[in-house]
Each structure stands twice: as C-alpha cells, then as structure tokens.
Amino acid sequence: MDGEQAKSGWELFKERLKHSYRFVIMTDDTFEEVRAYRLTLLNAYIFVTSVLVVVTIAVVSLIAFTPLRKYVPGYGSVPEDTAILNLYSELEDMEKELDAYRSYSESFRKMLVGEVQTEEEVPPVDVSYYDSLAAASVPVSEAEEELRQEAELEQVGEVARSGRITNFPVREVPLEQMYFTSPLSGEVAAGFMPDKSHYGVDILAPKNTAIKAAMDGYVFFSDWTLETGNTIGIQHTNNVITFYKHNSSLLKKAGNFVRAGEGVAIIGNTGELTNGPHLHFELWHKGKPVNPVEYVKF
C-alpha cells in the first residue's frame, strides 16, 4: 500500500512538471491579450537554472580576468604581495647602496679638501681620529699614527682600485712602462714627503701657466677646497689617478674626458696650504701615492 502511494506521488509530481500552463499578458484597461506563453514547470525550471548558470559564469569570468579581482579579499593577492615585497627589498638594497656611495663620496671629499685630523687631533682610545678635541693634549703612538695614515691613503686609493669612476679596463702594466706628459715645466720646490702627509710635489712656474693632463683620462673631481683651492682629479688607465691642486681656475668639469697634454687648469695660489703660485701634483697607483719625480719629467 505504501509503495503504491509513493509511486502515485512520484507520478503525480511528474505530471505536475509536465502540466501545461498558459501565461498571458493583457492590458489593464481593456483586458486585451497582448501576448501568451505556454509553459510547464519543467521548462520554467530549466530556463531559470540556465539563466543562473550563465550569470554565474559571467560574474566569475569578470572577476577572474579583469582588475576587479583585486577587490576580492585573498584572490590573487599572493603573487602581487610577493612582487611588492620584492620591490621593497630592491628599494632597500638601492637605498643601502646609495647611502654607502654617499658615505664613500663624503670620505673622499674630506680627503680632497684636507679635512683630515693631524697627529695631535687623534683620540687616545678611538683611533678613528674624528674627535679632535678629546686628543688635543694626548700623545699618539706610532701604531696609531700608521693606522691613521693608512686610513687616509685608503680613502683615495679606493678610487683607483675600484675603477668605479670610469669604464677603463684593468691592465696590469708596470708604472715604469707608462708614459706621462709633464703637467708643466718648472722647478720642483717641494718634494714627495708622505711621512709629512705631502703626497706629491710642488712645481713652480710663471703666473697664468696652463697645467696639462699627464695622461688620457676622465675628470672625476673638479671643485674648490678650503686647503688646496681649485683642485682637479683625473682617473687614468692601469689604476692611476692624478691630482692638480692650488689652481687659479679650472678648465674641465667632472665627467669630462681629457687627452694627455690637454689643458685642465691654470696655475695659481688658491687654498690655505700655499704661499705662492705653484702646482701641487700628486700621482697615485693602485691606491698608493708614488713619487711623481720618478715617472714624470718636469
């Protein structure tokens, strides 16, 4: 009996699904039939389901393949977050490199302008020699003095060793085999005395004499300093750099390429560490100052 009732109920449901209904659209005033549709519950179910499926597919596609997916929490955020983190990491690395370059440039600038403490200014405990007041009356040991001088030389020597100023290829050529053009012809008034922080030679010449580049190279420094006046520095091949100090005027700017024998400055008497028109010329090789007289004929 129960089976027959269940069967009759299922048959009744199928009959209802297939039962036809007439859907009529009429005007409200005249009850005139405008349009009529013949429907079944099965057709209506299929139609509604199809519409929902199409709308769902359209919405999902719109979100998945358009920028709208950015507004869905958690959708597609992992790759983008990874890219953002990578950008932040690269930015931090660039900031560190920039800070290191600024620190290096500032240290090198101090070396050029003569902002280096003397023996009396070196602190007794901290050998970094930056606190001149603390060591004004305290003697400095020979080891500390050697360390200070090595630090001074290292600041300038790093330019020649790194090759970061120019694109010159590194060539291992003995300095004796290199040819240097004399910056100018004149009398050597003061020789090479590295123990007294005099890392070059002083050459006397008439007023307004042009100073020439000793070799082909790129100007990496061209500016005025307190102690050495108008100063110009040139990077050459084979890890060689030259300095020309106390000039009355500079003829080249940083970044200029100069040929050997080309005028780069005019002899002068600028800066505090001078007592007459002359050229202070320095020659550095592989980060160390060398005696210019041994390689250049003045």
pLDDT in tens, the chain (298 residues): 555 555 577 778 777 777 888 888 888 888 788 888 888 888 888 889 999 999 999 988 888 888 777 777 666 555 666 778 888 888 888 888 887 767 666 656 655 555 544 334 444 434 343 334 333 434 555 665 555 555 555 555 554 444 444 445 555 778 888 999 999 998 898 889 988 888 899 999 988 899 999 999 999 999 988 888 899 999 999 889 999 999 999 999 988 999 999 999 999 988 877 777 899 999 998 888 999 999 998 8
234 and 180 together in one domain: yes
Give domain status of residue 167, yes or no. no
Which residue, 162, 196, 219, sits at the end of a domain?
162
Q: Which residues contact 88 (CB under 8 A, 6 or more apart)?
A: none
Q: What is the C-alpha separation between 246 and 252, in angstroms, rounded?
A: 15
Give domain status of residue 136, yes or no. yes
22 and 58 together in one domain: yes
Give domain status of residue 83, yes or no. no
Tokens 């405990």, residue? Answer: 125
Give domain status of residue 199, yes or no. yes
Which residue, 42, 64, 86, sits at the end of a domain?
64
181 and 148 together in one domain: no
Q: What is the C-alpha separation between 211 and 277, in angstroms, rounded?
A: 12
Encode burial over 134-171: b for 16+ CB neighbours within 10 A, e otherwise: ebeeeebeeebeebbeeebbebbbebbeeeebbebeee
Residue 28, domain extent:
2-64
223 and 153 together in one domain: no
Which residue, 96, 128, 162, sits at the end of a domain?
162
pTM: 0.49
Give domain status of residue 201, yes or no. yes
Give domain status of residue 147, yes or no. yes
Give domain status of residue 92, yes or no. no
The first and second tokens of residue 23, run together, are 């859907």
Give domain status of residue 193, yes or no. yes
> What's the number of domains the chain is made of?
3
238 and 205 together in one domain: yes
